[in-house]
């Protein structure tokens, strides 16, 4: 009889321990992670914006090259000019060089600010989609892979987030 009581008490402890662990797991919710760099890179808006930024950068570089070529051409003509014309041309060259430096500074600052603003916008969209995904799928925690030392591939939700992100915020149709 004593052995039966001990067995029942032990079974009850095991059962309650299992139930407590299950209850704790249910309360804690599911955990997942995403590879943020991959989500960012495979987001259609990121690819679209990269193309826009590349075009703006190329346009800027062509405009800068034209300005520098004009200065170089003027410097090449300096030796052929008379002293009075040479001084006037030299003053113009110095002014053009200063203008190019200012043009370069302003344009690079504008491009950098535009890039930073767009990155911030994209990251906020990613954050919003991850939050919505976590709430819909009942995740208690979705981590960024950069804070992980190890994460089981079963917990990786990157592909699902990329799909949800591209579905929610599709890229604009290509311009013809």
Distances (CA, A) of 176 to 12, 23, 172, 173: 72, 57, 12, 9
Smallest Cα–Cα separation from 86: which of 94, 77, 95? 77
**Total-model pTM:** 0.69
Instruction: Supply the pLDDT for residue 104.
Output: 93
pLDDT (tens place) for every residue of the chain, 176 residues total: 555 455 454 444 444 444 444 444 444 578 899 999 999 999 999 999 999 999 999 999 999 999 999 989 988 887 787 878 888 888 888 999 999 999 999 999 999 999 999 999 999 999 999 999 999 999 998 888 887 778 888 888 989 989 998 988 877 654 44
**How many angstroms separate the Cα of 143 from the Cα of each of 14, 20, 34, 51, 75?**
32, 25, 6, 29, 58
User: In this predicted structure, what is the pLDDT of residue 119?
Assistant: 93
Determine the pLDDT at residue 74: 87
Give the domains, in start order, of the chain with CATH numbers. Answer: 25-168 (3.30.910.20)
Residues 6+ apart with CB under 8 A from 143: 31, 32, 33, 34, 151
């Amino acid at each position: 009889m004593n052995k039966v009581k001990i067995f029942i008490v032990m079974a009850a402890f095991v059962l309650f321990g299992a139930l407590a662990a299950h209850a704790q797991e249910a309360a804690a919710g599911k955990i997942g992670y995403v590879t943020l760099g991959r989500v960012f890179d495979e987001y259609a808006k990121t690819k679209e914006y990269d193309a826009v930024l590349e075009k703006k950068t190329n346009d800027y570089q062509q405009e800068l090259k034209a300005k520098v070529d004009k200065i170089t051409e003027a410097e090449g003509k300096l030796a052929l000019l008379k002293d009075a014309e040479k001084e006037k041309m030299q003053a113009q060259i110095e002014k053009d060089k200063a203008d190019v430096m200012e043009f370069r500074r302003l344009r690079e600052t504008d491009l950098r600010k535009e890039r930073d603003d767009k990155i911030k916008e994209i990251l906020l969209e990613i954050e919003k989609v991850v939050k919505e995904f976590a709430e819909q799928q009942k995740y208690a925690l979705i981590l960024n892979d950069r804070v992980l030392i190890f994460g089981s591939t079963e917990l990786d939700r990157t592909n699902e987030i990329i799909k949800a992100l591209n579905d929610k915020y599709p890229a604009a149709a290509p311009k013809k």
